[in-house]
Structure 1
Amino acid sequence: MKLTILGCYAATPRTFTNPTSQVLEIKNRLFLIDCGEGTQVQLRKNKIKFSKINQIFISHLHGDHFFGLIGLISTFSLLNRNNDLHIYGPKGIKEIIKLQLRLSNSWPNFELHFHELENTESEVVYEDDKVLVKTIPLKHRIYTNGFLFQEKLDERKLNIAAVQEYEIERCYYQNIKNGKDILLDDGRLIPNNLLTFNPEKPKSYAFCSDTCYTETILPIIDKVDVLYHESTFLQSEETLAAKTMHTTAIQAATIAKRAQVTQLVLGHYSTRYDRIEVFKEEASTIFSNVLLADDGKTFEF
């Protein structure tokens, strides 16, 4: 599981910082999460292939989380994209994007599929044979969702030495990986656990930005491997965080601790601070496994 931070700062882009956008690579799928202004430039800088992005998840309709979307769609068209593009986001995202495409007479030459969200309860919004994605309802000034990405359990792994020892033919390998026992020609039933190894534990990633402190998300993100949680402010600005419906670093760490996550990644920093290291310093007083997101930074889990 690989996470590439394209942008992780709040409000406005600057010459050396970018608003929220990130790419999650999981089970050979590439998911774009949020699409702040400048996302396509950051994709190029980080050498991420545009053609591999087929799903885009937008948390909410504040500009620093989706103003880069129309530009990215336009570039996809200029690059002669053929693959369908699926966009998951709040109700209204379809109207905003289609209006821009219509007035600029720049309809893409590929299919655009909008999956508009308005449910205030967690729901599955994407699923294939390898990955499941569900919403994490957040509390912000407008309707907002985080997203939980979960790997599905892999098939069992063949114990080649055991399979060869019992002289089992190759045509039975898939049944064995599917968990079935094998009946030999001599009448012996070989249990599956003698022929296979357990698959790796599925990984999970939760994206939570933007939101005020809310414990309603705890059951959804319980024991996830990696939690990205906004930490717009330090504790000295707790009042401002509450007023703007954002979170402090200590509050993000508290959520991580109570959800018993393995790893916390902080981001969405207010640009009022000169050093982002102070966010980790504060959060570490509550939760030990803290990483700092930064533009262009890549994490492998």
Structure 2
Amino acid sequence: MKLTILGCYAATPRTLTNPTAQVLEIRNRLFLIDCGEGTQVQLRKNKIKFSKINHIFISHLHGDHLYGLIGTISTFSLLGRTTDLHIYGPKGIKELILLQLKLTESWTTYSLFFHELESKESEVIFEDAKVIVKTIPLKHRVYTNGYLFQEKPAERKLNVEAVQYYNVHVAYYQKIKNGGNVTLDDGTVIENEKLTFDPEPAKSYAFCSDTVYNEEVIPIIANTDVLYHESTFLDSEARLAEKTLHSTAREAATIALKANVKQLILGHYSTRYDGLEPFKKEAEQVFPNVLLADDGLSFDL
């Protein structure tokens, strides 16, 4: 699992900073999370293949999380894309995108599927053989969701020496990797634990931006491996955070602590501050394992 930060600053793009967008890679799948202005440029800079992105998750309909979407969709067409593209986001996102495509006469060369969200309860919105994605209802000025990405448990690893020792036929290998026992010709049952090794633990990633401090997310993201949580302000501007329904670095760290996550990544910084280190210092007073997101950074989770 790998996370690439394309943009992690609040409000508007600037010369050296970009609004929210990131790519999460899970077992050869690429998920684009939010799509602020300039996202497609950042994809190119970070050498991420457009063709591998088949699912886009939009947290809410504010410009710094959305205004890059129509450009990205259009560029996919210009590149001759034929693969389906699925877009998940608040109700209204379909109308917004289709109106732009209609008025510019820029219909796509591929099929667009919109999955519009309205529920204020956490729900599963995507699932395949390897990954499951759930919403994380957030509290912001408009309807907003974060997203929880969870790997499904991998197959068990075959112990080649053991299967050879017990003379297990190759036809049983897939059954063994799926966790099954094997019965030999003489009736002897070989338990799976003797034939396999445990797989790597399944990993999880939670994306929470934008939101006021909200403890209702804690049961949803509990024990997550990595949490990205917005930290628009420092404590010195806590009143402004409350007024605009954003969070401080200290509040993000408090959520991480109470949810018992393993790692916290801060982002969505207001550009009023000179440098990011104060965000880390403030958060570490509450939660020890803090990383700072920044445009172009990648994290191997």
- Counterpart Cα distance in 1 of 2:43 and 2:143: 27
SS at match of 1:207: strand
- Counterpart Cα distance in 1 of 2:66 and 2:222: 28
- Counterpart Cα distance in 2 of 1:45 and 1:180: 46
- How far residue 187 of structure 1 moved from its aligned partner, in angstroms, is 2.1
Equivalences for residues 44-123 of structure 1 within 5 A: 44-123=44-123
SS at match of 2:31: strand
Counterpart of 1:221 in structure 2 is 221
Counterpart of 1:17 in structure 2 is 17
1:88-134 deviation digits (Å, cap 9, x = unpaired): 00000000000000000000010000000000000000000000000
- How far residue 70 of structure 1 moved from its aligned partner, in angstroms, is 0.2
- How far residue 181 of structure 1 moved from its aligned partner, in angstroms, is 1.1
- Counterpart Cα distance in 1 of 2:176 and 2:264: 37
Counterpart of 2:27 in structure 1 is 27
- Counterpart Cα distance in 1 of 2:43 and 2:213: 31
- How far residue 299 of structure 1 moved from its aligned partner, in angstroms, is 0.4
SS at match of 1:227: strand
Counterpart of 2:160 in structure 1 is 160
Counterpart of 1:269 in structure 2 is 269
1:123-175 deviation digits (Å, cap 9, x = unpaired): 00000000000000000000000000000011111111100001111111011
- Counterpart Cα distance in 2 of 1:200 and 1:47: 28
The one-letter code of the counterpart of 1:78 is L
The one-letter code of the counterpart of 2:11 is A
- Counterpart Cα distance in 2 of 1:244 and 1:181: 57
TM-score (norm 1): 0.99
1:179-227 deviation digits (Å, cap 9, x = unpaired): 1111111221111111111111100000000000000000000010000
The one-letter code of the counterpart of 1:146 is G
- Counterpart Cα distance in 2 of 1:30 and 1:134: 16
SS at match of 1:71: helix
Identity %: 72
- How far residue 15 of structure 1 moved from its aligned partner, in angstroms, is 0.6
SS at match of 1:54: strand
Counterpart of 1:290 in structure 2 is 290
The one-letter code of the counterpart of 2:52 is K
- Counterpart Cα distance in 2 of 1:204 and 1:51: 24
Count of aligned pairs:
301
The one-letter code of the counterpart of 1:285 is Q
The one-letter code of the counterpart of 2:34 is D
Equivalences for residues 155-194 of structure 1 within 5 A: 155-194=155-194
The one-letter code of the counterpart of 1:160 is V
C-alpha root-mean-square deviation of aligned residues, in Å? 0.5
Counterpart of 2:207 in structure 1 is 207
Which stretch of structure 1 is more off in the superposition, 67-76 or 183-192?
Answer: 183-192
- How far residue 42 of structure 1 moved from its aligned partner, in angstroms, is 0.1
- Counterpart Cα distance in 1 of 2:18 and 2:193: 50
- How far residue 13 of structure 1 moved from its aligned partner, in angstroms, is 0.1
SS at match of 2:229: strand
Counterpart of 1:143 in structure 2 is 143
TM-score (norm 2): 0.99
Which stretch of structure 1 is more off in the superposition, 153-162 or 71-80?
Answer: 153-162
Q: Structure 1: which 4+ aligned runs deviate by more than 3 Å?
A: none
Which stretch of structure 1 is more off in the superposition, 41-50 or 185-194?
Answer: 185-194
- Counterpart Cα distance in 2 of 1:184 and 1:3: 45
Gapped regions of structure 1 (runs ≥ 5): none
SS at match of 1:13: coil
Gapped regions of structure 2 (runs ≥ 5): none
- Counterpart Cα distance in 2 of 1:237 and 1:30: 36
- How far residue 281 of structure 1 moved from its aligned partner, in angstroms, is 0.6
The one-letter code of the counterpart of 1:38 is G
- Counterpart Cα distance in 2 of 1:134 and 1:228: 15
SS at match of 1:278: helix
Matched, 1:233 2:238: no
- Counterpart Cα distance in 2 of 1:180 and 1:255: 40
